[in-house]
A and B are shown apart, each in its own frame.
Chain A
């Protein structure tokens, strides 16, 4: 069964369009480097929650092949369930043949009605794909649809346009400040090892190295609870994360020490402004588990670096954007 905890996508705001089937049926999806499955709503979902979304209709696609396998998508106390099927998935002008994906059939909750996206396209590794479903990018590589086994992501800082995912290449106009290559520590998520993290000159966490996941499907910077407590204390921020917009310019940088390089976020990068009020773009990830201290480098981080996800060398490339 597939498990996609959808409450994690509450703050995600970058969406793209794909199409499935012949003729094409369009869907708005999150390109999520923090998961590996593709799913969209289907016409089998008749609840009002699905009525606000594009729904895939298998009977209108000449290339669809159904299965009897089920898929289960959990979000907090609710869930979606459905079936797995195969069809042509078109991303930009790349037509991926026989791509497996989830078609949701039931949606017992109501919040999906308000979801600004229809589905999720996972770009992480097959090892974490539910139901053993081959991820879209793996099929792109297997079917020789991309010239290089990598994709790259640019998220524009404030504008509503200009962001993109580039499949099969690197846009050199975004790498003029050089590319720093970091080896992956696991082929599951896009996971790397960090050596330490500092706020200004002071260490705030990751004292004995830690793991970080580069995740386009998470909006904020997610940090261990202890680090979060230290950051809001040192910055003098309320526990609800609200901060005066006037203070942004005086905030210290957060610096990630990774593979002999430093990658910094200024206050203007990690404070988010909306409707004239400002809040910290950092959230707590809870207490460290037996998996160790985990950090998530979400859109707050990715907006500052052009990120290259290199499957052929199992590396992440970071190019500072300013």
Chain B
């Protein structure tokens, strides 16, 4: 009754964007703020 989901390690979004030459532009338009995930209200303000 125990259920195992295998996880695969793949390319990150950062690597995908970098490979397509889009990382710099993306980071300009979307300033990276890791805190926003946890404090959405504070980040929005």
Q: What is A's interface to B at a CB cutoff of 8 Å?
A: 3, 5, 7-18, 31, 34-35, 74-78, 91-94, 111, 114-116, 146-147, 155-156, 159-161, 163-169, 171, 189, 213, 217-220, 222, 274, 283, 285-286, 289, 291, 294, 296
Contacts and interface: CB of A to CB of B under 8 A. Distances in A.
For this complex, into which size category does the number of interface residues on chain B fall? 20 to 34
B30 A31 contact: no
Interface string B1-41: 11111111111111111001010001001111111111110
Given A7-B30, A289-B42, A168 B22 contact: no
Interface of B: 1-17, 20, 22, 26, 29-40, 42-43
A76 B16 contact: no
Contacts, number: 142
B12 A10 contact: yes
B18 to A, nearest CB: 10
A76 B12 contact: no
Contacts of B14: 10-11
A289 B39 contact: yes
A34 B5 contact: no
A283 B6 CA distance: 27
Given A116-B13, A167-B3, A286 B30 contact: no
19 contacts: A5-B33, A10-B12, A13-B9, A13-B12, A31-B7, A91-B3, A92-B4, A111-B22, A111-B26, A111-B30, A115-B16, A156-B9, A165-B4, A165-B5, A165-B7, A166-B3, A285-B35, A289-B39, A296-B34
